[in-house]
């Protein structure tokens, strides 16, 4: 049997129209979307399908939107008999991965990320925080620039060789652009997120969110779940809850997670959700990997056909 890894995207992958090909062609997906609207008492599916983008980008909307679409596509994949060898998510996508692995129900995950998003939004009500991708520098060089300039900025995501995300005060991020470029950065790109995520600014959020996690129902994972914080499998419910709390203010170690999975002899990486962000990262980590990105019915069919034909 093929070793398949499901990858689930995080914030920044939201876009108006996400999931529309599934929604308009599959009654099961339409029902899942409707149930999510009712659960959250929120016109989530309408915002996903019709916008506006500004509303969808708000972290308390983007988080449940991304988990809803990813978990719905995951359900369709499972209905085709496809069981992943392992799952992982990027940041928020870790919640979709936990749904896929049976740790959380979709409804519990949606409630959690809705609350998570609200807490994160409240942590930066004036929108002074942000994130940016630094292209072309390694972590050590980026950290040295941050330390030299004494800015309120931290390394947040280790995505792939030559792409590292920083997080902190927007004005300080802007002030670092010139010194980062002077050290060799090709570009410094602001991300479409609404806060300084995966930084110490989120520690108060983690403290508040811990109480929410403690009250939620978690189960032992089925397929292996790789944690963002450790870039290693997590097995116990207590460890999963701890990692989800830490994830709010710790680095996302995506590149290390992918490298570890490649070492396990994985046959294909399958991105489950909107856009192809993670697929692009995996290509930069190791171009020899077989990669699929399932964001619409066409790409879903392409992957299913490959899988049915033996994955050649």
Residue positions annotated with a catalytic role: 91, 198
Question: How far apart, in whole angstroms, are the C-alpha atoms of residue 112 and residue 241?
Answer: 12
With tokens 């807490």, the residue in question is: 119
3-state secondary structure string, the chain?
CCCEEEEECCCCCCCCCCCHHHHHHCHHHHHHHHHHHHHHCCCHHHHHHHCCHHHHHCHHHHHHHHHHHHHHHHHHHHHCCCCCCEEEECCCHHHHHHHHCCCCCHHHHHHHHHHHHHHHHHHCCCCCEEEEEEECCCHHHHHHHHHHHCCCEEEEEEEECCEEEEEEEHHHHHHHHHHHHHCCCCEEEECCCCCCCCCHHHHHHHHHHHHHHHHCCCCCCCCEEECCCCCCEECCHHHHHHHHHHHCCCCECHHHHHHHHHHCCCCEEEEECCCCHHHHHHHHHCCCCCEEEECCHHHHHHHHHHHHCCCC
Q: What does the alpha-carbon distance between residue 245 and residue 261 come to, in Å, rounded to a whole number?
A: 23
**255 neighbors 158 (Cβ within 8 angstroms):** yes
Q: What is the rounded CA–CA span in Å between residue 193 and residue 146? A: 21
Q: What is the largest CA-CA distance in the chain?
A: 56
């Amino acid at each position: 049997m093929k070793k398949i890894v499901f990858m689930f995207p995080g914030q920044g992958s939201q876009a108006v129209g996400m999931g529309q090909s599934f929604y308009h062609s599959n009654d099961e997906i339409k029902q899942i979307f409707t149930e999510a609207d009712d659960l959250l008492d929120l016109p989530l599916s309408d915002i996903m399908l019709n916008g506006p983008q500004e509303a969808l980008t708000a972290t308390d909307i983007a988080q449940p939107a991304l988990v809803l679409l990813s978990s719905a596509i995951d359900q369709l994949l499972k209905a085709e008999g496809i069981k992943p060898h392992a799952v992982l998510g990027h940041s928020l996508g870790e919640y979709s991965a936990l749904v896929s692995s049976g740790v959380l129900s979709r409804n519990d995950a949606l409630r959690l990320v809705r609350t998570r998003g609200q807490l994160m939004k409240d942590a930066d009500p004036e929108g002074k925080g942000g994130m940016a991708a630094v292209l072309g520098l390694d972590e050590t060089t980026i950290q040295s620039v941050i330390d030299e300039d004494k800015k309120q900025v931290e390394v947040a995501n280790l995505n792939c060789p030559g792409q590292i995300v920083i997080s902190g005060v927007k004005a300080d991020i802007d002030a670092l652009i010139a010194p980062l470029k002077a050290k060799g950065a090709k570009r410094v790109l602001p991300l479409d997120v609404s806060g300084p995520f995966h930084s110490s600014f989120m520690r108060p959020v983690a403290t508040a969110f811990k109480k929410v996690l403690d009250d939620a129902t978690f189960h032992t994972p089925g397929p292996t779940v790789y944690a963002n914080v450790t870039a290693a499998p997590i097995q116990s419910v207590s460890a999963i809850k701890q990692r989800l709390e830490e994830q709010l203010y710790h680095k996302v170690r995506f590149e290390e997670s992918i490298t570890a999975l490649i070492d396990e002899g994985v046959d294909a990486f399958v991105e489950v959700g909107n856009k192809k962000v993670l697929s692009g990262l995996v290509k930069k980590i190791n171009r020899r990997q077989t990669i699929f990105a399932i964001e619409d019915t066409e790409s879903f069919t392409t992957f299913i056909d490959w899988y049915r034909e033996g994955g050649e």
